[in-house]
Amino acid sequence: MAWECAECNAKESASTKIDAVCHHCGKPLCRDDRVEIADNAFSSVGLVAPKAVHCRACKRKYHGGAVPLSQAEQ
């Protein structure tokens, strides 16, 4: 059985990788649909929090004001 992105329903293939899950709800996510943010839930040591993968709904619910890393890096 192939993995499928919970956001866009794309099946994993050579061009679509489903290689992350939302750290709150566990939904499998493709690279286009994941939202990566710095999340201090993983560490309180150091200046930069590790990044965590979220689906859009959990990003809004748990980290509403956080800027996704892909946008912050631009």
Work out the pLDDT band at 63, boundaries 50, 70, 90: confident
Nearest to 3 by CA among 26, 34, 12: 12
Phi, psi (rounded to 5 degrees) for 24? -95, -50
Give me the pLDDT at residue 72, please: 46
The pLDDT tens digits for 9-45 are 999 998 999 999 999 999 999 999 999 988 777 766 6
Which of 48 and 38 is assigned the larger pLDDT? Answer: 38
d(CA 27, CA 37): 16
